[in-house]
Amino acid sequence: MPPMNEGIMVILSSPSGAGKTTLVKLLSERKGFVTSISHTTRIPRSNEVDGKDYYFVNIEKFQKMIDGKEFLEYAKVFKNFYGTTKFAIFEELNKGNNVIFDIDWQGTNQIISQKLKNKLLTFFILPPSREELFKRLSNRDMKDKLIAEERMKQFDKDVLHWEDYDYVIINNDLEVCYDQISNYIDCEINKKKSTYNIDQIKKHIKKLMY
Ligand code: 5GP
């Protein structure tokens, strides 16, 4: 176990539609992880709450925060800026709390390259198939279908970043997926060998990319 005053950092990333948001929620509820709340310049969705899902800020404020070096990492994703501030994260980690991040591959690479003293585990979540991903991304009307097609194109680019991560997880079933992530985290913390099978993952990725 790491010393009590050093929390670990767990990053979950996934191409849009792979089911990561629910997994973050489960890890927070069942394993007591503190969820990192990002700042974003994106417009809030109807079900989102400022200060809970994100801190919604305008581009001027975000730029000021960049200039003030407030971010541990930040990136432009789908035309909007997203960033993780240093202050709240280090406060939690120094209290001994473990922190979970829902950020993209650009932010993940920025955090990896900083080589912080806290243990860092990175997970890349993938959908079971292209067909299932398209189904998850599209709703009934044509506008959603067009957005889904755009996101599928983005998926083809994002999936290439799987190699940057410690673990790749296939989200066929949410509970199975949660158990896998939870098990890998416990194995890492307790320095035990896990059953992670990289060959199976490589086969799945080949299938996803055609
Ligand atoms: P959404 O707009 O759907 O909430 O998020 C879009 C993407 O931005 C997701 O892939 C999410 O993981 C990523 N994201 C959210 N917050 C951050 C952040 O603070 N930094 C980075 N780099 N990506 C983020």
In tens, the pLDDT along 146-183 reads 888 888 888 899 999 999 999 999 999 999 999 999 99
Q: What percent of the chain has pLDDT over 70?
A: 96
pLDDT one-digit tens code per residue, 57-108: 999 999 999 999 999 999 999 889 999 999 999 999 999 999 999 999 999 9
- Per-residue model confidence (pLDDT) at position 209: 85
- Per-residue model confidence (pLDDT) at position 137: 85
Q: How far is the CA of 199 from the centre of ligand 1 (A)?
A: 29
Q: Enter the pTM of the model.
A: 0.93
Match 């975000």 to its residue by tokens: 62
**CB of residue 7 inside a 6 A radius of ligand 1:** no
Question: Is residue 49 classed as helix, strand or coil in its secondary structure?
Answer: coil
CATH class of the domain at 9-208: alpha beta
Q: How far apart are CA 24 and CA 26, in angstroms?
A: 6
The residue ranking higher by pLDDT, 3 or 48, is 48
Q: How far is the CA of 147 from the centre of ligand 1 (A)?
A: 17
- Per-residue model confidence (pLDDT) at position 1: 47
Backbone angles phi, psi at 144, to 5 degrees: -65, -35
The 8-class DSSP code of residue 74 comes to E
User: CB 137: neighbour CB atoms within 10 A?
Assistant: 21
Residue 104 token pair: 């993209």
From the list 43, 24, 39, 37, the residue with the least C-alpha distance to 82 is 39
- Per-residue model confidence (pLDDT) at position 33: 97
- Per-residue model confidence (pLDDT) at position 2: 45
The residue ranking higher by pLDDT, 144 or 23, is 23
**CB of residue 103 inside a 6 A radius of ligand 1:** yes
Q: How far apart are CA 71 and CA 84, in angstroms?
A: 5
Q: How far apart are CA 149 and CA 168, in angstroms?
A: 24
Q: How far is the CA of 188 from the centre of ligand 1 (A)?
A: 25
Which residues lie across from 167 on neighbouring strands? 123
- Per-residue model confidence (pLDDT) at position 71: 98
CA distances from residue 16 to 29, 124, 134, 137 in whole angstroms, order as listed: 22, 12, 10, 8
**Sheet containing 34-35: order of strands:** 34-35, 99-102, 9-13, 120-126, 167-170
- Per-residue model confidence (pLDDT) at position 3: 47
